[in-house]
Structure 1
Amino acid sequence: MRGGSVVDAQRRMTEILNGAVLVPLVAVAAELGLADLVADGPRTVAELAQRSGSLPDPLYRVLRGLAAAGIFQETASRTFAATELSDTLRSGADSVRALARLWGISERTSALGHLGDTVRTGTPAFESVTGTDWWSHLANHPEQAAVFNDAMGYQVRRVHDATVSGYDLSGVRRLVDVGGGRGYLAAALLRRYPELTAVIFDQRAVVGEAERVLDEAGVADRAELVGGDFFDAVPEGGDVYVLSRILHDWDDERAGLILRNIRKAMAPQGRVLVVDAALTEGNHPDDGKVMDIVMLALHPGRERTLAEFGALFATAGLHHADTLALHGAASIVVGVPV
């Protein structure tokens, strides 16, 4: 029986299916801030309900379900304490609370529940569920946009830290951060490399927010803010172009267009650094493969294998020259002119 019994396989599948219930429980705990409430010691359900604005009996049932998975611990009847897992949901810079709250956005969860529609039609399920795309939805729901931005901030900080320490930019004079947002990555790189100058390029409504970040980092005098659309053109003359968590938002046609615009603009010996998941081939566990399913349900984009990156680069007159694995699912995929 492929190395195990039918009963074992059925039990494992049941565990997988039951795990779908655990995610909303974690999201509720994150939304209510329960981990913060037990940070200084055990609390009764009555206390937790009062402090979180919830009802004792349903809250107890949620906490009991979480404790069964090691997230919180029932230390006495209807009294709960922290565990290592629940501590990850406490507020703070290294917390995954915002990520857990993101999993609690009902429209996002509904899109994943309608993944079969995407498999049949090729259209992101989010659009069929809500009648709009993810980005337009966030623009019309600022409270959800705030949750999303907090969650992405946690992930981006980890990726940025790994990027700064993972790739040597010694000798580079001009870097262009395409889709650079508020400038956090550029600011970190400018601090690390005193001879470097940088262009932060993004939509005009976004890139202006980078001024504060650069000022606080003390590197504003070596940075230029440029607004525009990377589907039209990107700033010229860069030695290195960075695309951090950008290409995975787009299908191959539009991702290729971004790369072609970079190829036209870059210096003759330039490089493009794509910071995205680089999916492993075969059956190996890979967080990027989970991320790719989220992309499938929500966006027209995708995570890619190295072979797919190579093919995408080729459409833009680039050659896949190197790959550096970073923290978690992220890698730096390096392209150079053919």
Structure 2
Amino acid sequence: MTHDSETTVRAVRLLAGFQYAQAAFAVARLGLAGHLMGGPLPVPELARRSGTDPVRLRQLLRVLAGEDVFVLLDGDRVDLGPLGPAFAPDTASSAYELALTWADTLYAPYAELHRTLRDGVPAPEHHYGKPMFDWFADHPEQAARFSASMREGLRTVRYGVPTSLDLGGIRSVVDVGGADGTLLARLAGLYPELTGVVFDLPHVVAEAGPLLASHGLGARFTTAGGDFFVADDLPSGADCYLLSYVLHDWSDVDAERILRAVRTAGGDGARLRLVELVLPDWPEHPLPPFAATMDLTMLGMLAAGERTARDWERMLAATGFRLDRVTPTSTPLAVVEATATKETIRS
């Protein structure tokens, strides 16, 4: 047998992923990137500001300099690297809230992934004893942080999506699972005649009214609260129903329930726009990095997953829609366009 040190090194690197994740969480929790947003600092000064031990801090900075989070400078100084601003709050590339959320709520349950692979039960149910979103309902502070992380992360990932969303000829739209209305606010500038409704759970959509009003859009867009599994809760009769990165959170069974409710609310001819990751067909490998990360996240957290174009076509056909086209965007996401048909919806 010959020794393959390269393979061993790669395996160790993969196994050490949990350590790198905790290192990144520490950067966010300690505010290290935030302290450096004003420019480089001597390591002892950064240690003073962050309340850390300078010897151990220097060790962490050296490791993460290899990941482009930091840059080590002469004179025992440190600055942010290309990835550094992502770990500071309120930057254009921020993943700060996401880091805190994953550290506090998702990291520990993921130790149960091996059980999920055996029984199909999401890891949080093994760890917390209940589904992730039920656990959030009992922990409002963590739920608020999770919502903030989704707005933060998806605001960046979705930034190039609106210009790829073809709403030509559409006068009214319902943003199903639209959260704080950010996406409709951006679409409003591209389609001056567009009107619509931001729809989400009542406590979530409460944030949309003030945001829309701050953009001067209160007369064009309203809000509605309810359950998107219930057709009667959804605003009816709109030209188009938009679901932006919503269905990937749900199993095929539950995603089809949502689509059937949308189909019933929209009626024949209603148009559908899904903003989702669209995976290449099996067995193409490797997956794009962001798609692979999100597919793995969905596997462990929700026993759900990202889907291929064929998966979307099958699911849409089963719920009364015809797939029209899949349009890539400048982001990792794609726009799946469909139209409600007059064919009987399969149960």
Structure-1-length-normalised TM-score? 0.90
* Superimposed CA distance per residue, residues 116-156 of structure 1 (whole angstroms, 9 cap, x where no aligned partner): 11001110111111222222333333443343233212232
Give the drift of 1:115. Answer: 0.9
1:285 to 277, 284, 287: 287
Identity %: 34
Aligned to 1:179: 177
1:331 to 324, 331, 334: 334
Distance 1:186 1:87, change over 3 A: closer
Distance 1:225 1:150, change over 3 A: closer
The question of 1:195 aligning with 2:193 is answered: yes
Q: What pairs with 1:62-211 in structure 2 (closer than 5 Å)?
A: 62-76=60-74, 79-94=77-92, 95-105=94-104, 107-211=105-209
Give the drift of 1:41. Answer: 4.1
Structure-2-length-normalised TM-score? 0.88
Distance 1:224 1:83, change over 3 A: closer
Q: What CA distance in whole angstroms lies between the structure 2 residues aligned with 1:169 and 1:226?
A: 21
2:334 partner letter = S
CA contact (8 A) 2:328 2:334 kept: yes
Aligned to 2:30: 32
Aligned to 1:308: 311
SS in 2 for 1:319: strand
SS in 2 for 1:221: coil
Q: What pairs with 1:245-264 in structure 2 (closer than 5 Å)?
A: 245-264=245-264
CA contact (8 A) 1:274 1:332 kept: yes
* Superimposed CA distance per residue, residues 296-338 of structure 1 (whole angstroms, 9 cap, x where no aligned partner): 1111432111111111111111121111112433111112123
2:16 to 13, 18, 24: 18
Q: What CA distance in whole angstroms lies between the structure 2 residues aligned with 1:200 and 1:79?
A: 48
Give the drift of 1:19. Answer: 3.6
Aligned to 1:242: 242
Distance 1:55 1:308, change over 3 A: same
CA contact (8 A) 1:172 1:196 kept: yes
SS in 2 for 1:169: coil
Give the drift of 1:188. Answer: 1.9
Q: What CA distance in whole angstroms lies between the structure 2 residues aligned with 1:38 and 1:204?
A: 39
CA contact (8 A) 2:33 2:85 kept: yes
Q: What CA distance in whole angstroms lies between the structure 1 residues aligned with 2:135 and 2:76?
A: 39
Listed as ranges, the gaps of 5+ residues in structure 2 are 342-347
Structure 1 ranges of 4+ moved more than 6 A: none
Distance 1:334 1:141, change over 3 A: same
Aligned to 1:6: 4
Q: What CA distance in whole angstroms lies between the structure 2 residues aligned with 1:49 and 1:113?
A: 32
1:231 to 229, 232, 252: 229
Aligned to 1:318: 321
Aligned to 2:302: 299
Give the drift of 1:67. Answer: 2.6
CA contact (8 A) 1:241 1:272 kept: yes
Q: What CA distance in whole angstroms lies between the structure 2 residues aligned with 1:25 and 1:195?
A: 48
Distance 1:96 1:227, change over 3 A: closer
Listed as ranges, the gaps of 5+ residues in structure 1 are none
Q: What CA distance in whole angstroms lies between the structure 2 residues aligned with 1:34 and 1:161?
A: 26
Q: CA RMSD in A?
A: 2.4
Q: What CA distance in whole angstroms lies between the structure 1 residues aligned with 2:192 and 2:267?
A: 21
CA contact (8 A) 1:191 1:217 kept: no
CA contact (8 A) 2:248 2:305 kept: yes
Aligned to 1:269: 269
* Superimposed CA distance per residue, residues 5-41 of structure 1 (whole angstroms, 9 cap, x where no aligned partner): 8333223222322343222111111221212323344
Q: What CA distance in whole angstroms lies between the structure 2 residues aligned with 1:209 and 1:132?
A: 27
Give the drift of 1:247. Answer: 0.7
CA contact (8 A) 1:24 1:103 kept: no
Q: What CA distance in whole angstroms lies between the structure 2 residues aligned with 1:327 and 1:112?
A: 31
CA contact (8 A) 2:173 2:242 kept: yes
* Superimposed CA distance per residue, residues 259-301 of structure 1 (whole angstroms, 9 cap, x where no aligned partner): 1111122243221111111112211332222211111111143
Give the drift of 1:242. Answer: 0.4
